[in-house]
Structure formats: structure tokens, C-alpha cells
Amino acid sequence: MKCVFVCVVVLAMLGVRVQAFSFNDLTDYVDKHQEEYVEALRDWVSIESDSSDITKRAELQRMMGVVEEKLRGMKGNVSMMDIGTETLEDGRVVALPSVVTAVFGDDENKHTVCVYGHVDVQPARREDGWTTDPYNLTEINGNLYGRGASDNKAPVLAWIHAVEAYTALNMELPVNVKFLIEGMEETGSNGLDVLVESQRDAFFFDVDYIVISDCGWQSTRPALTYGTRGNCYFYAQVEGPKQDLHSGVDGGAVIEPMSDLIGILNSLISASGQILIPGVADAVADFTEEEKKIYEKVDFDMETYRSSIGVERLMYDNKVDLLAHMWRFPTISIHGIEGAFCGFGTKTVIPAKVTAKFSIRQVPNMNPAVVEKQVTDHLHGVFQQRKSPNKLKVKMIIGVKPWLTDTKNALYEAGKRAVKKVFSVEPELIREGGTIPIARTFQDMTGKDIIMLPIGGFDDGLHSQNEKISRYNYMEGTKLFISFLHEVSHIKNN
């Protein structure tokens, strides 16, 4: 408190008036700066910071520099943390993008909140079926379309703008705020867990709470998220002839790698979504009656969801089972096959080497190391039965554990009050089917309380064509973060 008093006196002597907290002034500030916020998002979206494409690594590093510059401009204590290198499939060693950290305030009488976010994106090309240029933010009917708009550039900007609003109005930040912004989230947060471990007694020493806004609501109702699934991402490669062959000339003479690959992929999952790999489902935590009751109450309209994603029928015909399979059961998705013919036209090739990419979402109490062995043994077993002369290689590329927390604590209460203040409704408590790789690391390595405070809409189309965030969610989300910081400052020390 003494420190706060001294600061106020010094600022008064310098003729700077410290304004008392006024939520209305802060929200007016956000409303008046809407266009600037949209322009900032436009600048960020224009950078193709795709972490999965090594040819875009310079752009990704430029993106990290833009974040650094913005935070420096706000007079934060900013660092660009080097997180080492990664070795690519072809053996090349390349630098990982720097992680940006920034510190606003070090008042030991205040709580310290660490905001985690990422500014890398999934790939996007106009030809994928986008109606607008994915890297040129385009507003249509109140929605801001662009790759990374919702995942996770607008939420990161909203956090920055929340802090900026306090300082621009000479209003004291109610808590110390630290930022940790990375550029590899979409590909498993490579290098970040090592950084978190090494910073446990440095950057994290005074952090009380970690907040993540890298997810979305389940409906139009604001939500607080208390669980994410993990992910095990696999490559399965079948290699046959020394080069591609002609299916007319050579077809019939060779056992085709693609047929082998499709054959083994077909052994992963049944038509009704049941995982067929022995042992994988055994570790899954029991689905309790208590949990079912929670899911029954979730404000989620299956029909709205079904039509928003454009399918005829969903895998389950009741809300509880559907939510359970989106949030708390493992699922297998087959993403693509490298080396396979996938262009326009009717090329009649026999591909010589094909690599399938698939992933298995992880839930409590699965263990990626165990899943890796189960999948590898299973695929080799099925492949062996085919008696193929081709070669199979199976490799787990990403192995991330799920995250789950208890919401009965002061942090979630602060989140609830913040939502109520801005949206005049109680938030929904939801889980998330996607993966935030570092969430579990934060939990295990720092032991800090974590909250997920999403501002994305349920229909934002993350990773898909026409990803967007609504102007409403972006602006009200900024107000939510302002309110949250204020509410956290009221948490009593134990």
C-alpha cells in the first residue's frame, strides 16, 4: 500500500492525475476506440504467421516482433525469449519463434495475473474455399473474417487493449499483469514447456493466476471453460516402390502403399465413432451421473450446432452424449495423406510413399506415452496381417495431456462476476474439445490457479474456411477482460 501511495504522490507532483477506477469510463474508452482495435486486428491478420509451414517462419518471427513492439509501446517491461530450435523431418534445424513476455506492474500488494495467448495460425488459402482473402480482415454483417481472427489474435489484442485502456485513462491497474505470448501453439507449443520450467522461479515467481482466452463459447451465452482435451498426433508412413508408378502399366504388379495405408487407417475407428485400438478407451475416466447432470443443464442447442456446421446428422442424438463425446471422451480424426494425389484432374499415379496424419484427442486419465505404444503396436499388428512387402513407420509427433480444473474457487468466482457485469447473465461452465498444449504444463509445473475465459463465438470456424470473430465479441470481450482484472483484485488472500 505504501508503494501505491508513493506512486500516487509522485504522479501528482508530476501533474499526472491518477483517476479512480470507473468501469463506465473504461468501457466508453473501448467503444470510442473500436475502429483502432479493428485496424490493429487487420494488421495482425495480414501477417501469415502459420507455424505449421516452415517457409512462413520469417513471417511468424515478424509477428512476434509486432507483438513485442506493441507491448514496448505501452511501456511494459518486455523480453523476447529465445526457446531454441526444432529439427524438421528432413533433418534441418531451424529456430523456434521467440516467446514475448511483458510485465506491467510489480506491486507486491497486488495480485499478479499472467495472460497466456498465441499469435501463430493454422494454414489458410483462398482456394480452400474462403469467400474472402484469409489474410485481409474483411467485415461482413458485424463479423470480422480472417485467419487467426478468433484463434487467437483478437483475444490477445483484447487483453492488450484492456491493459492499455487502464493506462490511457491514467487509471491504476488493479493487478499486476504479465503477458506470455507464443508462436507455436497450433503445432504443439514446441519449446514452451522447457521455458515455463526454467522460468518457474523467475517469470512465474509472483504469478498468482493464469488466464487463457484461446477457446470459444458453446452457444451465444458467455462461458467459463474448465477443461480441454489433450492430443496425440501421429504420422503413419507406408513406403513401397522407389518412385511413383503408372497405374495402367504397373497396376496389378505391385502392392500399393496407398491401399496398405487405407487398410490400416480403417482399423482405427468404426463407422459409429468407436475407437478400435485395443486398450485406448480403458484409461478414460468413468462418466459419472453427476457429470451427466451438469451436461444436461448446458445451454446448447443441437439443431443450431448441426446446421451451423452443415451436416445432415450428428453422431449422437441427445445433448448429453454429444457434449460428452466432444469434451470428455477421446476421438480419432484423420487429417490428411501427404504424398497422395490431391490436385484437380484425373492423374492416374500409384504414389510410392504416403504418410497419413491423424490425431487422438486425450482426456483424463489417458497418458500420451501409453497411447503412443498402443497405436504403434496396433498399426504394426494390422499391417503384418496384410503380409505386404512395403515398409510401415509410425511416429507420434505431438503428445499433449488434457487439462481439467475445479471451478469452486475464488478465481472462477471472479470470472463469473466479470461476465455478469458485462453481459448481465451468469456464464455457462463448459469444457472444450480442442487442445491448449501448455495448459497442463502450467498446472503441473507452476501449481498456479488457471482459468479459461473465452470470448470467441461458438460458430467462429476455427481452423476452417471463413474463420471470424464478431465485432461484438471482440469489443465486449475487451470489456470483459477489463472487468475481470478488477474482479481479481478483490480476491482475498488465503
Residues acting as catalytic residues: 120, 185
Q: Which stretch binds ligand LJKWNNLP (CB under 6 A): 66-74, 369-377, 432-440, 442-450?
A: 432-440
Q: What values do phi and psi take at 9, rounded to 5?
A: -65, -45
Q: How far is the CB of 45 from ligand LJKWNNLP (least distance, A)?
A: 15
Report residue 22 CA to chain centroid gap.
32
C-beta atoms surrounding 289 within 10 Å = 7
- Contact set for ligand LJKWNNLP, span 23-82 (CB under 6 A): none
- Of 19-27, 53-61, 320-328, 433-441, the window that binds ligand LJKWNNLP (rule: CB under 6 A) is 433-441
Least Å distance, CB 402 to ligand LJKWNNLP, is 11
Residue 228 found at the interface with ligand LJKWNNLP (CB under 6 A): yes
Using CB under 6 A as the binding rule, whether residue 476 contacts ligand LJKWNNLP is answered as no
**Nearest to ligand LJKWNNLP by Cβ — which residue?**
434
One residue of 50, 120, 151, 459 binding ligand LJKWNNLP per CB under 6 A: 151
Cis ω before 473 (30° cut-off from 0): no
Is 434 near ligand LJKWNNLP (CB under 6 A)? yes
Of 98, 176, 435, 478, the residue at the interface with ligand LJKWNNLP (CB under 6 A) is 435
Distance from chain centroid for Cα 70: 22
Over the window 198 to 227, marking each residue x when it contacts ligand LJKWNNLP by CB under 6 A and - when it does not, the resulting string is: ----------------xx------------
E strand segments, 112-156: 112-118, 138-140, 143-145
- Helices 154-168 and 471-488 pack at an angle, to 10 degrees, of 60
Among 50, 120, 186, 467, indicate the residue that binds ligand LJKWNNLP (CB under 6 A).
186
Residues in the chain: 494
Site string for ligand LJKWNNLP, 100-139 (x = CB under 6 A): ----------------------------------------
CA distances from 125 to 48, 130, 320, 343 (A): 10, 7, 36, 14
> Which residue number, 151 or 260, has a Cβ lying nearer to ligand LJKWNNLP?
151
Percent helix, strand, coil in the chain, to 5, is 35, 20, 40
Q: Dihedral, CA atoms, 84, 89, 90, 91, nearest 10 degrees?
A: 40
- Left (φ > 0), alpha (ψ -120 to 50) or beta: where does 188 sit? left
CA-closest candidate to residue 411, choices 310, 485, 318, 308:
485
Q: How many residues bind ligand LJKWNNLP (CB under 6 A)?
A: 13
What torsion do the CA atoms of 430, 190, 338, 381 make, to the nearest 10 degrees? Answer: -80
Closer to ligand LJKWNNLP by Cβ: residue 65 or 434: 434
Say whether residue 436 binds ligand LJKWNNLP (CB under 6 A). yes
Binder among 152, 189, 190, 213 for ligand LJKWNNLP (CB under 6 A): 152
> For ligand LJKWNNLP, which stretch binds (CB under 6 A), given 75-83, 346-354, 406-414, 431-439?
431-439
Q: Residue 240: what residue type?
A: G
* 462 part of the interface to ligand LJKWNNLP, by CB under 6 A: yes
- DSSP-based three-state secondary structure for 366: coil
441 scored as a contact of ligand LJKWNNLP (CB under 6 A) = no
Minimum separation from the CB atom of position 272 to ligand LJKWNNLP (A): 23
Q: Is 156 in the site for ligand LJKWNNLP (CB under 6 A)?
A: no
**Quick one: 187 or 388, whose CB is closer to ligand LJKWNNLP?**
187
Q: Which three cell numbers stand for residue 262?
A: 487405407
Residue with cell 479512480: 20
Our CB check for ligand LJKWNNLP shows the closer of 102 and 436 to be 436
Separation between Cα atoms, residue 184 and residue 367, nearest integer Å = 22
* C-beta closer to ligand LJKWNNLP: residue 214 or 476: 214
CB 199 within 8 A of CB 478: no
The residue range among 104-112, 164-172, 419-427, 434-442 that interacts with ligand LJKWNNLP, by the rule CB under 6 A, is 434-442
Q: Which one, 379 or 436, has the nearer CB to ligand LJKWNNLP?
A: 436
Please state the three-class secondary structure of 173-228 as a single string: CCCEEEEEEECCHHHCCCCHHHHHHHCCCCCCCCCCEEEECCCECCCCCCEEEEEE
Kindly give the pairing relationship between strand 93-95 and strand 85-87: antiparallel
Q: Which grid cell is 358?
A: 491423424
Can you give the binding site for ligand LJKWNNLP, defined by CB under 6 A? 151-152, 185-186, 214-215, 228, 231, 432, 434-436, 462
